[in-house]
Amino acid sequence: MTTIVPVSVRLETNSQEAVFSEQPVNLSGGGIGFVSNISYNPGDILVLVLRLTDQLTLTSRAEVLRLTPLPHNVQTYRVQARFIGMAEQDRERLIRHIMRLQRDHLHEHYST
């Protein structure tokens, strides 16, 4: 499910304070896809903080699986990563959030 959320992404080895940017992300219970101007490497471990709602912020580690250069944007990449070590309770919250977004989208676009 693609949605726009404030997200902070940093390498696990980088201890700088999180900086949030609102951007489109493709979310699932197992991972995330997003666009970045940073060229990560497959296997890199990221720390992600997602502000899904005012009351729901999730922090998770994710392993970079693929990095695909975007054809029309120099030094811009599509990053695909899988969540690792996410607490089951957080995964369930994420899945419920995604299902709510999908339900709202269907209701908005396909209701008669």
Q: Of 26, 61, 25, 28, nearest to 43 (Cα)?
A: 61
Under 8 Å between Cβ of 46 and 62: yes
Residues 19-70: pLDDT tens digits? 899 999 999 999 999 999 999 999 999 999 999 988 899 999 999 999 999 9
Under 8 Å CB-to-CB from 61, ≥6 apart: which residues? 12, 45, 46, 47, 48, 83, 84, 85, 86
Q: Under CATH, what is the fold of the domain 2-110?
A: Thrombin, subunit H (2.40.10)
Q: What is the mean predicted confidence (pLDDT) over 69-84? A: 94
Q: Where are the domains of the chain?
A: 2-110
